Amino acid sequence: MPSAIPISNGMKIKKGQNVKIITGKDKGKTGKVLRVIPRNNLVVVEGINIVKKHQKSKGQQQGGGIIEKPMPVHISNIKLEQESKKIYPVAQPKAGGTGAKK
């Protein structure tokens, strides 16, 4: 029997949305979703969870060095940043009245 891999089909985070980190070393930071990995419930966010990778040079053209790249964050550690909500004007009381219904 092949082992079943749980896949979450109910992910509400999509590529390109703005999210806020709610736990971890980058708590409070916001960023844009670059990639979603639904199989493992992971999300790659721009500028969040940056790690330094030591890259070995591959020939003369590509030099080695230290490369910074974003790593995935678990979906439970982020929340969707709401778009700015429209503010509707509050009804003002009529002149000479109390404003309360009778």
Give the pLDDT confidence of 57-70 residue by residue, as tens digits.
887 777 788 999 99
Angle formed at CA 41 by CA 36 and CA 47, multiple of 5 degrees: 50
d(CA 98, CA 102): 10
pLDDT digits (tens, 9 = 90+) for 38-62: 999 999 999 999 999 998 888 777 7
Assess if residue 42 is contained within a domain: yes
Would you call 95 helix, strand, or coil by DSSP?
coil
d(CA 42, CA 22): 15
The pLDDT value given to residue 75: 93
89, pLDDT greater than 80: no
Question: What is the tally of structural domains in the chain?
Answer: 1
Supply the CATH number for residue 38's domain.
2.30.30.30
Domain span at residue 69 reads 18-80
> Which two structure tokens, joined as six digits, stand for 62?
């590509």
Q: Which residues pair with 66 in a beta bridge?
A: 54
Q: What's the predicted TM-score (pTM) here?
A: 0.66
Assess if residue 95 is contained within a domain: no
Query: In terms of pLDDT, which residue wins out, 7 or 74?
Result: 74
The pLDDT value given to residue 13: 86
One-letter amino acid of 102: K
